[in-house]
């Protein structure tokens, strides 16, 4: 039988509902131990021994790893981000790589909105102070009075933009794709340079993928040019934002606050970020709803089975 593996922790959690799909396709299912969020290096090589196809999470399929996996023919990525896979070298090695776009645009957008409400109304800080015996009355901002720039106008960014507009937020966006320009023209959203737009808005919300153009893009210079007293929210990819620069800006008061669902290194190890006030910290969990996970499970499994040799 053809051996396939699942290393995506969300699917491993729910695997009992999907074992039959693998059995019906005549596949021998292997579930490696994934102690954290992902596998990399020697751990990933060991887990992929004899594996022909895998439903992968955020595992790091580097060229060095794939060179040691002669049997591997299909990587079905659970989710959108392919930054952990060396795509050119996978193609050179005859490995088919798929992902699952359009599966959780609403869910990640909803998480971004949740962070926005929590930041501008001080919800998390009030909760902490009340639990400590206080009774604070912070002055917040009305959502409909705000302006926001959405960095990255793929499925998540487009969905977030329309939800923001429904709340009365003035929305601009930054994305180099022709589709983004068309979306902006159709929906009354100004499209422009991210660093320029960031100087003019109350909130910068990041939904972009990680690539060579976006890695480290939101650095000290970018944040320093943002409007004083503005907020930063990242539900895109962690390495887009330089964490130390965010911490400096929050600590100095240049940023009124920040919400980070993702980080440069995960799980978060930066004690300074952990202990700063006016920051809300997530656990790379924006897409993790019952509905989104099950629709993505089905798509990722189908992608795997359809592309096996």
Catalytic site positions: 237, 266, 284
Concatenate the DSSP letters of all residues of 108-132 into one string.
HHHHHHHHHHHHHTTHHHHHHHHHT
> In terms of C-beta distances under 8 Å and separation of at least 24 residues, what long-range contacts does 141-144 make, across chains too?
141/202, 143/116, 143/117, 143/167, 143/168, 143/169, 144/168, 144/169
Mark 288-306 as b/e (b = at least 16 C-beta within 10 Å).
Answer: bbeebbeebbebbbebbbe
What phi and psi, each to the nearest 5 degrees, are found at residue 23? Answer: -65, -40
User: Crossing angle for the helix pair 105-120 and 155-166, nearest 10 degrees?
Assistant: 50
Rounded distance, CA 108 to CA 112, Å? 6
Task: Count CA atoms within 13 Å of residue 209 on its CB side.
Answer: 16
Q: Which residues contact 20 (CB under 8 A, 6 or more apart)?
A: none
Alpha helices (H) along 257-309: 271-275, 290-307
């Amino acid at each position: 039988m053809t051996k396939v593996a699942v290393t995506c922790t969300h699917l491993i959690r729910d695997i009992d509902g999907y074992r039959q799909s693998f059995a019906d396709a005549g596949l021998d299912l292997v579930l490696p131990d994934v102690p954290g969020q992902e596998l990399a290096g020697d751990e990933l090589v060991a887990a992929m021994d004899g594996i022909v196809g895998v439903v992968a999470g955020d595992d790091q399929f580097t060229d060095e790893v794939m060179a040691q996996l002669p049997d591997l023919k299909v990587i079905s990525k659970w989710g959108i981000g392919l930054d952990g896979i060396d795509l050119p070298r996978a193609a050179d090695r005859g490995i088919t790589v798929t992902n699952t776009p359009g599966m959780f645009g609403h869910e990640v957008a909803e998480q971004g909105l949740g962070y926005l409400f929590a930041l501008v109304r001080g919800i998390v800080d009030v909760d902490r102070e009340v639990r400590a015996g206080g009774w604070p009355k912070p002055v917040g901002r009305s959502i409909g009075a705000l302006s926001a720039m959405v960095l990255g106008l793929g499925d998540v960014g487009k969905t977030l933009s329309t939800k923001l507009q429904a709340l009365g937020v003035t929305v601009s966006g930054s994305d180099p794709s022709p589709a983004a320009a068309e979306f902006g023209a159709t929906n009354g959203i100004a499209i422009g340079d991210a660093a320029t737009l960031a100087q003019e808005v109350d909130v910068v919300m990041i939904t972009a993928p990680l690539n060579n153009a976006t890695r480290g893009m939101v650095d000290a210079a970018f944040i320093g040019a943002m409007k004083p007293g503005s907020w930063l929210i990242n539900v895109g990819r962690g390495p887009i934002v330089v964490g130390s620069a965010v911490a400096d800006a929050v600590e100095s008061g240049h940023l009124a606050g920040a919400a980070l669902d993702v980080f440069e290194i995960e799980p978060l190890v930066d004690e300074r970020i952990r202990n700063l006030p006016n920051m809300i910290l997530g656990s790379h969990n924006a897409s993790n709803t019952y509905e989104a996970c099950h629709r993505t499970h089905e798509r990722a499994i189908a992608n795997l089975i359809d592309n096996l040799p």
